[in-house]
Amino acid sequence: MAKSKSSGAKPRLGRGLSSLISNSSSEAQNASGVSNSEVLQDASVSNLDGQPQEIPVGDISPNPYQPRKEFRSQQLQELAESIRQQGILQPLLVVKVSDPSAPTPYALIAGERRLRAAELAGLETVPCIVRKASQQQMLEWAIIENIQRTDLNPIEKALAYRQYLDRFHLTHETAAKELGQPRTTISNHLRLLDLPDTIQALIRDRHLSFGHAKVIAGLSGQPDLQNELARQTVTNALSVRQLEAMAYGIAAEAASPEKPQTQSPRPNETPPAYVQDLEERLTAVVGTQVQIYPNRNKNSGVIAISYYSLDDFDRIAALLGLPREA
């Protein structure tokens, strides 16, 4: 007989909402370690067999923890037209609210775009999966649903991560495990919230990509320079690589002229955040420490790869394409 899953096991959020829809109610109720009084749904009225049920559109309130702030009218109209033609192919995820003073009997966990489009399409009811969820789960699931299925802009994602960390007092590492996201992804998004408001607006309006934003965020504490780089990027349609080259040059020029071109700014200085990010990614690929030393000349520098034994050296050499000697 197959071994049954413990009722206290936490759903792995990184797999997406499809895994959440099929999980048992007992898993969902206590997954975050909260007390029963914090669970928002009344179990006695739940359809917990995973089968959708039709719920009136007016009986569902938006998720109060929804990280998406921007709903583009044209995209909603297109989705509404698709719903008129094909119906809603994926059920919404909702909880039954036990508070009698609540404005509606149900609260949305995931699917706000579908709910809004259904209203535009004139639907009276929508198919829903009813689940149990704590406040933490509602926030977690809303973040995952948006990150995996719709195009949140990077600032919205950053604000969602910040809300999640602050509300539940989590570290970046813990949040990454809970959400099934790389730690660097969360850290890099959160750095965007330190950018000047003018640059955040450019990111929201998609004039700057996440890649551009990471590079500019690496020049922290220099708002005038960050704004100038953002302006040049938008005006000249710079690629991320072109912007990185400019940032490398600026970082190198800021170094002491007495230092050799290949000398590291460490240990007395911390490299820019975008350099740390590249080093972490290269280290994960190579399996040993990798450090990047930008030259004062643009578009050049040194990548230093550490090895700790002759076997390590041979492995890294093979990884770089050097055939092993017979």
Instruction: List the catalytic residues.
Output: 112
Cβ distance 11 to 23 under 8 Å? yes
Residue 51, CA atoms < 13 Å, CB-side half-sphere: 3
CA distance 221 to 191: 12
Q: What is the DSSP letter of 267?
A: T
Structure tokens at 49: 């067999």
Distance in angstroms (rounded) separating the CA atoms of residues 272 and 248: 9
**Using an 8 Å Cβ cutoff, are 61 and 102 in contact?**
yes
Long-range contacts formed by 217-222: CB under 8 A, 24+ apart: 217/188, 217/191, 217/192, 217/273, 217/274, 218/191, 218/247, 218/272, 218/273, 218/274, 218/275, 218/277, 219/247, 219/250, 219/251, 219/272, 220/191, 220/194, 220/272, 220/273
Angle between helices 183-191 and 154-168 (to 10 degrees): 110
Ordered DSSP codes for 27-56: HHHHTT---GGG--S-GGG---SS--EEEE
Number of neighbouring beta carbons within 10 Å of residue 38: 14
Which residue, 32, 273, 213, 255, is CA-closest to 139?
A: 32
